[in-house]
Structure formats: structure tokens, C-alpha cells
């Protein structure tokens, strides 16, 4: 069931999305924030204005992409391969955006295929671009259609010890919390659907693991200030199971950092990470 390389360049209709304080709080809890991060998990703490985790861009953005034009594939065999966010300004606790998306690329990986879905989101209150997102989707069993394989990664793990390292434990019910922010894919909640995809039980959303990783980057590299968080790109290399512990390692070079996330067994689950900050 191949994808259609002729779909590259197709644009979708602009799509609007609004959110409020409660949505931002729910997202923060969904990616593990708690009592030590009250600026993100409460809205009425004394001398602590509410702020938004930068990785919430993955929930709010990404709209307007003509996903229905990408070709045919089995949704049970689709995985989130990678995610990029670029923030032009800090996300407010409430607001509305208009997103315009397109199909940026489709690559033939042999037995599988991948597609890059890009979107730009404008803050309707200011008329200015708020953030850009790029999702890389990986489709098992949808390759061998004669397309180009795509570029090879150039990311290399630094040889020195990490400059920062932070560990977070995920909850067994983490995907049930995270899905309330909008991603209702049953791969993360329905045991029978997960088994159709080859998993013993539901797996954690890749973007939830991405959010955990983003929290570590924010607190270690930006002094917990979302206004300093500018760019984050990473690949999902192995599924995370609810209950896993995630350790984020960071290597800093000026205002750019490379990062990698591993589970408690030392398996890399988020790889080829690059983050930029002010």
C-alpha cells in the first residue's frame, strides 16, 4: 500500500485552533510536569504567572496539512518518526492560531516509507508567525514504490560526557492523560489495536516522550524560561512503554545543544536531537 510521491508540495486549507488556560495546564500534566513546575501546572499561584511549555506547539500546530492526499497506508502500522518545532515567540496561556500546512517530502525507505508534513501557525491576536512544526511520519509496509530514499542523517553523538543529564519517570496511565490533549490514536490506549500494530500493550505517544524531553531541555538550558526556547528537532528511535524512566542527556555548544533520551534499560528512544536556545 504505497504513498503517492506526486502529493509532495500539496497545500491544505488554513485551519484555526484555539486554546485556553486549562488546555495548557492539561498538556503540562500530560508530559509529566508537577508540583515543582507550578508556572506550567497552575494558573493562580502567588507571584507565579502561568506560562506554557514550548513543546505544546506540537498539540496546537500542525494543522492545515492535506493528510488525506498522501496516499494509502494501514494506520495501525504508522509511527511518528520525528518532530521539529521552531518558536518565533512564547506561546501564551490562551489564544488562537491559523495554521497552513503542506506535504514537504515523501521518501521510499524500502519496506517502509516516510513523509514530512510541515505547518506554519500565525497568532491571530498579533498577526505574526508564532511557530513552525514539521512531523515525520513513518509508514511500515508502504514502501517499494520506486521513490527516492531521502537524505542520510549527519548527527553524531559527542565523544565527551554529557554536560547535563535529567531523569523523569513516566506513569502507567501517562498515555491516558496525554491523549486528553487531542491525540486519541487507539495505539496508545486500546490493547487490541496496539496488538494489531505488533505491540504487547499500548505504547506511550512519541510526542509525550518528546514533551518529557523538552521539559529537561527547558529547565537545564533555558533556566525554565520558555521565551529562551527556540528550536527542537529529534527522531523517535524506539517506542516508550508507559512506566518507563526517561533519561535525557545534553551536550552544549554555545546556544546549541545536542540531546538523546534513553529508557531505564539504556535503549535510545529519542535520537539525533538538536535544540537551540537564547
Burial class (CB in 10 A: 0-12, 13-18, 19+), 114: buried
User: What DSSP string describes 252-263?
Assistant: EETTEEEEEEE-
Where would I find the H helices in 66-178?
Answer: 174-178
pLDDT of res. 21: 98
pLDDT of res. 256: 98
Q: For residue 243, what are the contacts with CB-CB under 8 A and spacing of at least 6? A: 169, 170, 171, 172, 174
CATH code assigned at 144 = 3.10.129.10
Residue span of the structural domain in which 175 resides: 5-277
pLDDT of res. 60: 98
d(CA 258, CA 277): 12
pLDDT of res. 140: 86
pLDDT of res. 159: 94
Q: What is the rounded (10 degree) CA torsion for 242, 61, 39, 177?
A: -30
* DSSP 8-state secondary structure symbol assigned to residue 85: E
pLDDT of res. 182: 94
Helix (H, G, I), strand (E, B) or coil at 78: strand
- Which amino acids are annotated catalytic? 183, 188, 203, 206
pTM of the model: 0.94
pLDDT tens, residue order, the chain (278 aa):
578 889 999 999 999 999 999 999 999 999 999 999 999 999 999 999 999 999 999 999 999 999 889 888 887 788 889 999 999 999 999 999 999 999 999 998 888 889 999 999 999 999 999 999 999 998 888 888 878 888 887 889 999 999 999 999 999 999 999 999 999 999 999 999 999 888 999 999 999 999 999 999 999 999 999 999 999 999 999 999 999 999 999 999 999 999 999 999 999 999 999 999 99
Query: What is the tally of structural domains in the chain?
Result: 1
Amino acid at each position: 500500500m504505497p504513498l503517492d510521491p506526486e502529493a509532495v508540495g500539496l497545500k491544505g486549507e488554513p485551519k484555526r485552533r484555539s486554546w485556553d488556560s486549562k488546555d495548557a495546564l492539561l498538556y503540562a500534566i500530560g508530559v509529566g510536569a508537577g508540583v515543582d513546575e507550578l508556572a506550567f501546572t497552575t494558573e493562580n499561584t502567588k507571584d507565579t504567572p502561568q506560562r506554557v511549555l514550548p513543546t505544546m506547539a506540537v498539540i496546537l500546530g500542525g494543522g492545515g496539512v492535506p493528510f488525506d492526499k498522501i496516499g494509502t497506508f494501514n494506520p495501525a502500522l504508522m509511527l511518528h518518526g520525528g518532530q521539529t518545532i521552531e518558536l518565533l515567540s512564547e506561546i501564551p496561556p490562551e489564544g488562537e492560531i491559523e495554521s497552513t500546512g503542506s506535504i514537504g517530502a515523501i521518501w521510499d525507505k524500502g519496506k517502509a516509507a516516510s513523509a514530512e508534513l510541515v505547518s506554519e501557525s500565525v497568532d491571530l491576536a498579533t498577526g505574526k508567525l508564532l511557530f513552525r512544526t514539521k512531523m515525520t511520519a513513518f509508514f511500515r509496509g508502504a514502501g517499494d514504490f520506486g521513490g527516492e530514499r531521502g537524505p542520510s542523517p549527519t548527527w553524531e553523538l559527542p565523544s565527551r560526557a554529557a554536560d547535563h543529564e535529567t531523569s523523569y519517570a513516566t506513569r502507567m496511565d501517562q498515555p491516558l492523560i496525554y491523549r486528553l490533549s487531542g491525540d486519541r490514536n487507539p495505539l496508545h490506549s486500546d490493547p487490541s489495536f496496539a496488538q494489531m500494530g505488533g505491540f504487547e500493550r499500548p505504547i506511550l505517544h512519541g510526542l509525550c516522550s518528546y514533551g518529557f524531553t523538552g521539559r529537561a531541555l527547558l529547565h537545564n538550558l533555558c533556566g525554565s524560561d520558555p521565551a529562551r526556547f527556540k528550536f527542537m528537532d529529534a527522531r523517535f528511535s524506539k517506542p516508550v512503554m508507559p512506566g518507563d524512566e526517561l533519561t535525557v542527556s545534553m551536550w552544549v555548544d554555545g546556544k546549541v545543544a545536542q540531546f538523546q533520551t534513553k529508557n531505564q534499560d539504556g535503549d535510545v528512544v529519542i535520537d539525533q536531537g538538536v535544540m537551540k536556545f537564547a
